[in-house]
A and B are shown apart, each in its own frame.
Chain A
Amino acid sequence: MSEEIKNFLYLNRRAPYGTIYAWESLEVVLIGAAFDQKVSLAFVDDGVFQIAKGQDTSGIGMKNFSPTYAALGDYDVHQLFVEKESLEERGLTVDDLMHLTWEDEDEDWAEKDSIQVVSRLELAEIIAAQDVVFSF
């Protein structure tokens, strides 16, 4: 079998704490990142709430896993697509999201933004270009 690198997209459409989907997705991303594929994440619908800043779960007895998104750069996940329409429908802007970055080893660890706000149509094209899409 050929060892060709494939494009994997994780499609996140659910808010973080009401169901287990968001955390499960993140765990699968972290595990899957060990396999040397090109991995990106998309946040659509309520999925955009997963990366909202200021999360504090101390009052609900659940683990706050929002800091883990900041580790994605270390796992070679450099592209987090956030759908503009989904943000707008929820009264959010990119400033309401965590500032997530990755460091480019080839450019002396220059810090680069991971989040890219894309339109619904752009996201449709991104989805179309993938080899594999995992939905959560």
Chain B
Amino acid sequence: MAIEVEGKVLETDEEGYLVNLSDWMPGVAEIMAKDDDLELTDEHWEIINFLREYYEEYQIAPAVRVLTKAVGKKLGKEKGNSKYLYALFPYGPGKQACRFAGLPKPTGCI
């Protein structure tokens, strides 16, 4: 599978995750969100960027529970809860947001 972003064809796996992390650009998230009927807001970007920073530091996509706790610590309790995160990413903050961020599927997600 593949997606086309800004004229470039980027390889994705069978679940739609980028095969090469280095292919990522903001347009990837925009195109993937459009396919999911989602309009990306600053709040979405805050989480997407958070995930990319988490990956940069730890080399893993965090499990939802870990993401929730880490968001709460960094961005405040009103954002570090599943209600807030699921409202932003209805297909799951782990799976969907990681996909938009160009990360692999979170370790431990089935």
Contact = CB atoms under 8 A, between A and B. Distances in A.
Q: Check A-B contact in the complex, CB < 8 A.
A: yes
Interface stretch (A39-47, A67-75, A79-87, A112-120): A67-75
B60 A109 contact: no
Contacts of A31: 107-108
Interface residues of A, number: 17
B14 interface: no
A74 B107 contact: no
A121 interface: no
B59 A64 contact: yes
A64 B60 CA distance: 11
B15 interface: no
B60 A30 contact: yes
A27 B62 CA distance: 12
Contact of A34 (B58, B59, B65, B73): B65
B43 to A, nearest CB: 22
Interface of A: 27, 30-31, 33-34, 63-65, 67-68, 70-71, 74-75, 103, 105, 109
30 contacts: A30-B60, A30-B63, A30-B107, A30-B108, A31-B107, A31-B108, A33-B63, A33-B108, A34-B63, A34-B65, A34-B108, A63-B59, A64-B59, A67-B58, A67-B59, A68-B58, A68-B59, A68-B60, A70-B57, A70-B58, A71-B58, A71-B60, A71-B62, A71-B66, A74-B69, A74-B70, A75-B63, A103-B73, A105-B69, A109-B73
